[in-house]
């Protein structure tokens, strides 16, 4: 019913040049100590890569420590969840450094889609210099507003009910677990929210949800969506139209299968999405983080902009 990763097609992997770093020599790993299993994973990294420099920090110091690590290392390592990896990816891309991702969060979508599940996976890639290029999603203006830098995403960007769902899920997951928290959050959000109004690609419409994935997301039975190609140059754009309360049908589709089961859903693939007519302060989510918009947003991609250490399939 749920195939193992070994039974699924290998991801698209444009090879990239990266230095071989046996035992982690020249690698600086920044660890978000408040992210999932990051602290325990960091201990495994120390054992597996004794020559690597490990820096543990709180979320508030993460940005500064990543920038410092990028200056003194031949490669940048990161240990944390998708939000932590998001920050590291932006820094690595700006410094033209290869990134080593050690899964240490709750979901770890990006690492798992690359076939990285353990410290040993990353260690073998570092030892041989095995790396791939992946696309980097971008949205403008970024979280800092019109005068700041663009925002980036490795997994997905979304508007509508999803940002509130993320906020509520994060609130409940420490108490009842991630999957039950997601269901509870969906029930609460779908019951109390109204569709947002936005102009997408020049057409105004009410929307419950706009999802923009960095690459095409597949779905295997009841398993979470994953990607087979992280360098396809395209955005996976999915919309759930407004006009009435989505109710249990949409909730059931979201929990048990792809949203394409809902007649209110539309999916296309694009290189760029233009969003305008937003109410200032509209929440949006990117890689599990939540921020607030102005009146307009442009979402696109930087093709093959990031180099990531990755074990090659046998």
pLDDT in tens, 100-125: 999 888 778 899 899 899 999 999 99
Q: What is the DSSP pairing of strand 226-227 with strand 272-276?
A: unpaired
Instruction: Quote the pLDDT of residue 134.
Output: 96
In this structure, how many other beta carbons lie within 10 angstroms of the beta carbon of residue 171?
12
Whether residue 257 is predicted with pLDDT greater than 90 in this model: the reply is no
Greater confidence (58 vs 9) lies with 58
Whether residue 127 is predicted with pLDDT greater than 70 in this model: the reply is yes
Instruction: Quote the pLDDT of residue 222.
Output: 35
Distance in angstroms between the alpha carbons of the first and the last residue of the chain: 25
Greater confidence (30 vs 105) lies with 30
Say which residue the tokens 């754009």 belong to.
237
Question: What number is the average pLDDT over the span 132-156?
Answer: 90
Whether residue 181 is predicted with pLDDT greater than 80 in this model: the reply is no
Instruction: Quote the pLDDT of residue 66.
Output: 97
Min mean pLDDT across 128-137, 177-186, 262-271 is at: 262-271
What is the band of 13 on the pLDDT scale with cuts at 50, 70, 90?
Answer: low
Instruction: Quote the pLDDT of residue 2.
Output: 39
So where are the chain's domains? Answer: 19-129, 139-304
Greater confidence (249 vs 283) lies with 283
Tokens matching residue 85: 């990896």
Greater confidence (266 vs 183) lies with 183
Instruction: Quote the pLDDT of residue 100.
Output: 97
CATH class entry, domain 139-304: mainly beta
**What pLDDT, in 10s, does the model give residues 187-222?**
777 665 677 888 988 888 888 788 899 998 875 433
Entry pTM: 0.84
Whether residue 56 is predicted with pLDDT greater than 90 in this model: the reply is yes
Tokens matching residue 271: 């290189």
**Concatenated DSSP letters of the chain:** ----GGGSPPPB--EE-----GGGTTEEEEEETTSTTHHHHHHHHHHH-TTSEEEEE-GGGHHHHHHHHHHH-SEEEEEE-HHHHHHHHHHHHHTT--EEEEE-SS--HHHHHTT--SHHHHHHHHHHT-EEEEEEEEEESBTTBTTSPPEEESSEEEEEHHHHHHHHHHHHHHHH-HHHHHHHHHHHHHHH---EEEEETTEEEEEEEEEEEESPEE--TTSPPEESBS-SS-EEEEEEE-SS--HHHHHHHHHHS-GGGSTTEEEEEESEEEEESPPTT-EEEETTEEEE--S-EEEEEEEEEEEEE-PPP-
The answer to whether residues 234 and 215 touch, using CB atoms and an 8 Å cutoff, is: yes
Instruction: Quote the pLDDT of residue 12.
Output: 55
Q: What is the mean pLDDT of the chain?
A: 83
Whether residue 241 is predicted with pLDDT greater than 80 in this model: the reply is no
Helices 247-256 and 178-192 cross at an angle (nearest 10°) of: 160
The structural architecture, per CATH, of the domain 19-129 is 3-Layer(aba) Sandwich (3.40)
């Amino acid at each position: 019913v749920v195939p193992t990763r070994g039974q699924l097609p290998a991801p698209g992997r444009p090879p990239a040049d990266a230095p071989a770093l046996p035992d982690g020599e020249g690698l600086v790993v920044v660890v978000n100590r408040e992210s999932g299993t990051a602290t325990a994973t960091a201990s495994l990294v120390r054992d597996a890569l004794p020559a690597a420099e490990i820096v543990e920090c709180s979320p508030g110091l993460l940005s500064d420590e990543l920038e410092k690590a990028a200056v003194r290392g031949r490669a940048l390592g990161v240990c944390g969840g998708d939000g932590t990896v998001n920050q590291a990816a932006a820094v690595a891309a700006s410094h033209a450094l290869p990134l080593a991702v050690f899964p240490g969060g709750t979901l770890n979508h990006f690492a798992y889609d690359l076939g990285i599940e353990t410290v040993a996976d990353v260690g073998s890639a570092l030892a041989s210099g095995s790396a791939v290029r992946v696309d980097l999603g971008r949205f403008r203006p970024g979280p800092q507003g019109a005068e700041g830098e663009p925002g980036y995403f490795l997994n997905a960007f979304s508007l509508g009910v999803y940002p509130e769902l993320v906020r509520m899920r994060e609130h409940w997951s420490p108490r009842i677990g991630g999957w039950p928290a997601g269901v509870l959050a969906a029930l609460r959000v779908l019951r109390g929210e109204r569709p947002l109004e936005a102009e997408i690609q020049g057409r105004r419409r009410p929307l419950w949800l706009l999802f923009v994935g960095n690459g095409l997301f597949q779905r295997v039975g009841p398993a979470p969506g994953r990607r087979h190609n992280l360098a396809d140059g395209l955005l996976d754009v999915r919309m759930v139209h407004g006009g009435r309360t989505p109710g249990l049908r949409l909730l059931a589709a979201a929990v048990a299968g792809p949203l394409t089961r809902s007649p209110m859903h539309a999916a296309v693939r694009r290189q760029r999405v233009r969003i305008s007519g937003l109410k200032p302060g509209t929440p949006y989510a990117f890689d599990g983080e939540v921020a607030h918009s102005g009146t307009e947003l442009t979402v696109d991609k930087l093709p093959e902009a990031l180099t990531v250490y990755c074990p090659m399939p046998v």
